[in-house]
Chains A and B, each alone.
Chain A
Amino acid sequence: MNLLMDAPVIDYGIMQPILVVLGAAVLGVLIEAFAPRENRRNIQLVVTFGSLLIALYGVVTNTSEKHVGLGAVNSLSIDGPGLFLQGVILVSALVGAMFLAERDIDVQGDAFAPQASALPGSEDESEFTLRGWLQTEIWPLFLFSVGGMLIFPVANDFLTLFVALEVMSLPLYLLAGMARRRRLLSQEAALKYFVLGAFSSAFLLYGSALLYGFAGSVTYGDIVTAIGQDPGRNGLLIVGSLFVFVGLLFKVGAAPFHQWTPDVYQGAPTALTAFMGAATKVAAFGALLRVAYVALGGLRWDLAPVLWVIAGLTMLIGTVVGVAQSDIKRMLAYSSIAHAGFLILGVIAANPAGLSGSLFYLLAYAFTTLGTFGIVSLVHDASGEANNLGQFAGLGKRSPLVAGAFALFLLALAGIPLTSGFTGKFAVFAAAYEGGAAPLVVLAVIASAIAAFFYVRVIVLMFFTEPQGEEVSVIVPSMFTQVGLSIAATATVILGVMPQPVLDLLNNTFFIR
């Protein structure tokens, strides 16, 4: 008996982005422990932005050198789509970090409570506020989440998927509950997010267990092979794959697993919502696409009807209920639900065009989401952020630039040509039509029309309605937010007008297993 074993050969280069971000997160924890309070923020910022940039550099070099393959003993599949998704997540994280780092909007500091453990309204809290302390723990938490997100879409087995899911979600649960203002709502959002998130991940896990029972392995490639061989035990396969879908569809915010979205989007600090809305959706859809295309590719015809129902329901609920919202963040949350519906079309398409279309869509969506929430965070009244739709009235007159940018993002969300949203929509719809889902495309078009109504309503409010009631003001933010918003706006325009380079990148890229 040979107790020696061959050490697995691990390609660290391919995992560089993940390792850098997670390593930086660990470093961040140490900084919290050892660095003096007054320096922490600056050090954390350097670590965060530095690690994100290094990771992004890694993704870019891996992409340009076509350095792809399975990593970490087949548990990661870092292929073309995977690298693209990691890139999108990292860029979203960079822009999101800029919003998180913003201190000029709120006179008291950044968007997070000075000490999350202090009771809201307690003397402790006001003292911390007075001292101008910041909760710098958000940075390692943020980096852990980003690390989870980087793994999530490239996970090549269900265990890695589950672990990545938790790594990316757990910090977000916490961060969602740490808003500086309206702490009660923030904590409630955290609780709901956590309970429902844990509930859904239990489904995902149990589904994985059943699939393991079916195929004898949790690796995607083995499962799809097993499906091809048809070993019987179809009950395990169907229930298992549906439970996995429940977990993933929860994360992407598809109906009927969407109900956490408005509550959490509204309750969480807006800067975090921006990051979460963009990056979580990207990571979750990346994982969903991979599971659907790779692990369950052979099950397409059993899953297609289910996904048709979900897609239709999601699009309609997202758009129709969105019409009735009066809080801008909730409205945008419903918009994100609608977009999840559109994106499921790309999953249903089940063809290379569907994959590349969805990826493009995700890239476009990430920037518009960051942009919209970024701008929402700028509009304030006396008590903090002004989230009521009515308070946006007359914004066009007060600060045309911000209103103009907001209009741009909204039009992109609506899918108006020459914005990124249109290109993405077109790509996904075309793929779905080709994949035989023409009726869903028509439904998607109708849903887009309904959605257009509430996007346009905001534009009308900003440009054509006289402001009434209390004065709201648009805060001029620091360089962080300015740069972040500029990136988002520029990308939105470029992806609408000149999408070809990105499309080239996505052309002929497909999952490996």
Chain B
Amino acid sequence: MRTEEKIITRSRNRHKRLDAFQRILLLLVICLTTLLGSIIWTMPENPPGLADAVALMQEHSGVKSPVTAVLLNFRGYDTLLEVMVLLLAVIGAWSLAKAHFPQQEREANPVQMGVVRLLVPLMFLVAAYLVWQGSHLAGGAFQGGAILGAAGVLMLVTELPCLRAIPAHPLRIGLVLGPLIFVGVALFCLFLTGDLLGYPEETAGWLILLIEAGCAISIGLTLASLFAGGHPEDERPKNQEQAKGPCKGERP
């Protein structure tokens, strides 16, 4: 215990100059970088890749954007697990702490409220556009989700009073929505074609869009929840039913 505390507090009164261990380490790191750098230097100019292979299969993927095709079709399994990683981060965060809100409820600053009222709907719109656009240009669930998350963060920073009352259960449904749709589609495809995530070619585009939409919502909620830094107020299993209705700030 003692030493651990020391380790944490030591950074405050750290010496400016490097000691012997740090110097050796620095030397080692420099050597490592030089070595790796020289290897990169000598690498062939035209590295082999999968660009041609992907281009060949592009038309069967149901989307026009190659990145989306790779992300959600060719390597959709990766992305499925990725979405789970995001969800895991939320579960981990919720297991650690309760969301931190200021002690007293206070009236939101009118300027902040104004900004929120103005920006948040716009952000939702942009997010939806990004998801829609993902099928043929750069964009997609992650980008859309990031914008949604930013909207959530904005609201959290404004300390909207209603956020405090967001019930846990709907929030959890929202968080799980994307992964569930993803898994559902994957299993649906398994029934249909015998392959997990093996979309039928004609409906592939729509299924991908469905997944992207679901995931964008979940990713947005995930990022906002991570920012909130813990589980919501009524996360105790016993008094689950105290949930209130959705608040105004959530869907302006």
Asked whether A and B interact, the reply is no
